[in-house]
């Protein structure tokens, strides 16, 4: 029995497993359906397990199929990451073929500007510092960016981001605030609780996408920081943020500390077993802040 899997096989299987429909998967892959079906059948024979349940109602994953979907996504992310980081190391992804010493840092939009300024300033003063490209992201997007190579390092925020599979160092801990329209009656309070802001009549909590899915609720779906800031100013929503978010608030906003919200811990995180000297230098700088 051959335990080696080809990248092509994994791409085919992940497409079918995500679509649960051979026709849609074939269209997504830009190929005809019959060779795709044959490729999946050959993969099942080689592995000696059934990956998909096929019937008149459609396609469903077996337990083995669920496992291969999870592992396959991780493997494809790893191969994509290897290609992206290799190009970056060689300068192939810049118009003029350089610079060759560059790191991409993923940060959540609206995260602590002060910490980021301090980190970038301190690192730039180091001998042989790499160029840092700051890549803003939405809530929880930093994880995917690290896994598939779009980023080399990220500022992550527990308990919102998962640090599983990454190396990390803790940088700062802070409380959380409710960000409200400045004219709202609750804006005059000195403190609030999570219960106070979870069910405000006419002012529902904003909803950020997490791993591509919005949580249920009446609040608006938020796509970026500017949209959120405007909706709060217009009296359409309320948001819960780390205390450092005060740096981006408008005059039309009010910030009230939350007494029972969990503390937010900011970590600098990177792929485990990284051997990049530039990344090691950035981590050393971050831990000295």
| Stretch 144-159: mean pLDDT | 93
Tell me 263's DSSP state.
Answer: P
pTM: 0.71
- The pLDDT of residue 100 is 53
- The pLDDT of residue 96 is 53
As to burial, measured by CB atoms within 10 angstroms (0-12 exposed, 13-18 middle, 19+ buried), residue 56 is: exposed
Q: What is the pLDDT of residues 32-87, one digit of tens each?
A: 999 999 999 999 998 999 999 988 778 999 999 999 998 888 888 878 877 877 77
Q: What is the pLDDT of residues 226-235, one digit of tens each?
A: 899 999 999 9
The strand pairing partners of 153, in sequence order, are 105
- The pLDDT of residue 56 is 77
- The pLDDT of residue 94 is 52
Tell me 130's DSSP state.
Answer: P
| Stretch 205-215: mean pLDDT | 85
Number of Cβ within a 10 Å radius of residue 92: 13
- The pLDDT of residue 268 is 97
- The pLDDT of residue 30 is 93
Please give the Cα distance from 129 to 176 (Å, whole number).
Answer: 33
Q: How confident is the model at residue 16 (pLDDT cuts 50, 70, 90)?
A: very high
Q: How confident is the model at residue 2 (pLDDT cuts 50, 70, 90)?
A: low
> For strand 102-108 and strand 131-137, is the pairing parallel, antiparallel, or unpaired?
parallel
Check if the beta carbon of residue 133 is closer than 8 Å to that of residue 103: yes
Q: How confident is the model at residue 188 (pLDDT cuts 50, 70, 90)?
A: very high
Please give the Cα distance from 55 to 251 (Å, whole number).
Answer: 59
* Secondary structure of residue 156 in the 3-state scheme: strand
Structure tokens at 204: 């529902």
Q: Sign of the C-alpha dihedral, residues 23, 26, 32, 33?
A: negative
The owner of tokens 């992550």 is: 156
Q: What is the pLDDT of residues 245-284, one digit of tens each?
A: 998 899 999 999 999 999 999 999 999 988 889 999 999 9
Q: Sign of the C-alpha dihedral, residues 193, 195, 197, 202?
A: negative
- The pLDDT of residue 234 is 97
| Stretch 149-164: mean pLDDT | 92
Q: What is the mean pLDDT of the chain?
A: 89
- The pLDDT of residue 224 is 86
Q: What is the pLDDT of residues 71-130, one digit of tens each?
A: 888 888 878 877 877 777 766 455 555 445 789 999 987 677 889 999 999 999 998 899
């Amino acid at each position: 029995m051959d335990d080696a899997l080809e990248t092509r096989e994994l791409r085919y299987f992940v497409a079918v497993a995500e679509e649960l429909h051979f026709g849609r998967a074939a269209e997504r892959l830009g190929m005809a359906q019959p060779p795709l079906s044959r490729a999946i059948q050959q993969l099942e024979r080689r592995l000696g397990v059934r990956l998909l349940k096929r019937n008149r109602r459609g396609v469903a994953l077996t337990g083995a199929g669920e496992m291969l979907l999870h592992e396959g996504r991780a493997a494809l992310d790893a191969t994509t990451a290897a290609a992206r980081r290799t190009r970056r190391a060689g300068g192939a992804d810049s118009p003029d073929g350089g610079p060759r010493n560059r790191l991409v840092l993923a940060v959540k939009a609206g995260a602590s500007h002060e910490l980021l300024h301090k980190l970038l300033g301190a690192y730039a003063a180091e001998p042989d510092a790499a160029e840092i490209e700051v890549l803003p992201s939405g809530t929880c997007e930093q994880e995917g960016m690290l896994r598939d190579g779009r980023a080399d390092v990220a500022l992550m925020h527990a308990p919102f981001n998962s640090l599983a599979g990454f190396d990390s160092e803790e940088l700062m801990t802070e409380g959380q605030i409710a960000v409200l329209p400045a004219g709202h009656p609750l804006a005059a309070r000195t403190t609030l609780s999570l219960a106070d802001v979870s069910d405000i009549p006419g002012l529902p909590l904003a909803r950020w996408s997490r791993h591509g899915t919005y949580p249920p609720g009446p609040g608006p779906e938020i796509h970026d920081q500017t949209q959120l800031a405007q909706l709060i100013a217009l009296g359409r929503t309320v948001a819960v943020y780390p205390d450092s978010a005060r740096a981006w608030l408008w005059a039309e906003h009010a910030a009230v500390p939350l007494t029972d919200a969990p503390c937010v811990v900011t970590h600098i995180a990177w792929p485990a077993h990284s051997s990049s000297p530039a990344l090691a230098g950035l981590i050393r700088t971050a831990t000295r802040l």
